[in-house]
């Protein structure tokens, strides 16, 4: 059976709605363009670095822990803006997914542990996070999202040193953005990589546009997010291999062509 590839045009004529933070749509645009699709940016928030004495102190403590966990590339970027990132000889640094791991390597951390399943459940299943009773675990993250990690590790007996290195600021959509969504015609899909972004979008849009969003094919970054999308009223939901933009777009292409993922 032929397989989809990263340069086919099976998504020609499609638009992919992106709920990524403002200014963070470029990777998804590139992946979509490779398959003939376009991206409609519908950012419900922007990311803002928390650079203040309390945050810097929390980051210093988190980076000295026996295990150091980063929950997103944005967490790496924010931390690196405040401190040089270097792993100690006895430390284990972990990332929630390959994108976060790449960000850490670019920041100078040579050895990073990341799960094949790129979500909170995959991270919590890593061997380095199983026997953690009495260990300190630094968690570099943001308020909201990935809410299962800290409680699960605390329940295993770890001492959590949390640093919210950045925050998500809700933003109002412009009239032009809402007009583009209103004028959007089929076929279109929605990339779902954040439950909070989906919730904010559905709650913040005018009711008729929220219903229009629910009419999209939802391309979920994980089985958990697929369940979130179905609970929010989406009826056409598919699951990508990972949250990576190429995998999200490949999942949409598979659904169109009924082929295995590239």
Does residue 128 lie within any of the structural domains? Answer: yes
Q: Which domain holds residue 190?
A: 15-44+171-257
The answer on 188 and 144 residing in a single domain is no
Mean pLDDT rounded to a whole number for the chain: 90
The answer on 32 and 94 residing in a single domain is no
**Using one digit for the tens of pLDDT, what is the confidence trace for 23-66?**
889 999 999 999 999 999 999 999 999 999 999 999 999 999 99
- The whole-model pTM stands at 0.79
Cβ 17 vs Cβ 213: under 8 Å: yes
Strand order in the sheet with 136-141: 92-95, 67-70, 136-141, 159-164
Q: Write down which residue in 146, 168, 190 finishes a domain.
A: 168
Q: How confident is the model at residue 12 (pLDDT cuts 50, 70, 90)?
A: confident
Both tokens assigned to 141: 């993250």
Strand 45-49 and strand 67-70: pairing?
unpaired
Read off the CATH number of the domain in which 93 is found: 3.40.50.10090
Does residue 2 lie within any of the structural domains? Answer: no
The alpha helices in the chain, defined as continuous H runs, are 26-34, 53-63, 73-82, 98-106, 120-124, 149-155, 175-183, 195-204, 207-214, 223-231, 245-257
The answer on 161 and 77 residing in a single domain is yes
Q: How confident is the model at residue 256 (pLDDT cuts 50, 70, 90)?
A: confident
The answer on 77 and 57 residing in a single domain is yes
Instruction: Please give the tally of structural domains in the chain.
Output: 2
**Using one digit for the tens of pLDDT, what is the confidence trace for 204-253?**
999 999 999 999 999 999 888 999 999 999 999 999 988 889 999 999 98
The answer on 101 and 75 residing in a single domain is yes
The answer on 153 and 59 residing in a single domain is yes
What's the chain's length in residues? 262
Average confidence (pLDDT) over 157-182: 94
Select the more confidently predicted residue: 13 or 137: 137
């Amino acid at each position: 059976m032929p397989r989809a590839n990263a340069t086919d045009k099976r998504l020609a004529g499609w638009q992919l709605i992106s709920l990524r933070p403002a200014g963070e749509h470029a990777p998804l645009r590139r992946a979509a363009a490779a398959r003939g699709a376009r991206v409609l940016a519908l950012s419900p928030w922007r990311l803002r670095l928390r650079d203040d004495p309390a945050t810097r102190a929390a980051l210093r403590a988190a980076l000295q822990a026996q295990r150091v966990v980063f929950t997103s590339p944005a967490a790496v970027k924010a931390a690196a803006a405040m401190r040089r990132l270097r792993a100690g000889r006895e430390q284990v640094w972990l990332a929630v997914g390959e994108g976060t791991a790449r960000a850490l390597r670019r920041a100078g951390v040579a050895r990073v542990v990341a799960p094949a399943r790129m979500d909170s459940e995959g991270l919590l299943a890593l061997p380095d996070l199983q026997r953690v009773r009495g260990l300190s675990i630094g968690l570099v993250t943001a308020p909201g999202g990935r809410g299962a990690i800290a409680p699960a590790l605390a329940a295993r007996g770890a001492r959590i040193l949390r640093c919210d290195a950045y925050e998500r600021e809700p933003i109002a959509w412009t009239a032009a953005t809402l007009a583009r969504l209103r004028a959007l015609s089929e076929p279109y899909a929605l990339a779902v990589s954040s439950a909070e972004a989906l919730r904010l979008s559905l709650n913040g849009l005018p009711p008729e546009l929220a219903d229009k969003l629910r009419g999209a094919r939802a391309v979920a970054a994980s089985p958990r997010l697929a369940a979130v999308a179905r609970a929010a009223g989406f009826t056409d939901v598919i699951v990508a291999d990972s949250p990576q933009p190429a995998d999200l777009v490949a999942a949409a292409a598979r659904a169109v062509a009924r082929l295995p993922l590239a």
